[in-house]
Amino acid sequence: MATKNLTTEEFENAISGEGITLVDFWADWCGPCKMFAPIYEQASETHDDITFAKVDTEAEQQLAAQLQITAIPTLMAFRDGILVFSQAGALPAKSLEELVQGVKGLDMEDVRKQIAEHQATHSH
């Protein structure tokens, strides 16, 4: 499955569903983004059970600002609508594969429990 370009309008819908969605925030002028693109594309071919999406930060400046993207490339991983990973910097293929396996291996019941506990102790 190839990568899918996301617009601001499509973003919420793309990340909120069941399963895993990876989102690569990039720009055409960004050298590291261009180096990471084929690695990301190759991973999308390997893992057809994951949605691989891309957001052009130049075209979608409002979305990038809302998500506080301050450096690119930035990779975000969502599972069942929950942000479980966010990091700036191009990943080598091995690290991207480790990330994918880590997200697949998450115990989402435990993640939801941790979020609930965090919100309970940090409510205002």
Give the catalytic positions in this structure.
Answer: 30, 33
Report H helices in 17-82: 31-46, 61-66
Contact 40, 100 (CB under 8 A): no
Give the CA distances from residue 49 to residues 1, 9, 18, 104, in Å, rounded to whole numbers and listed in that order. Answer: 9, 23, 11, 10
Pairing of strands 82-88, 50-56: unpaired
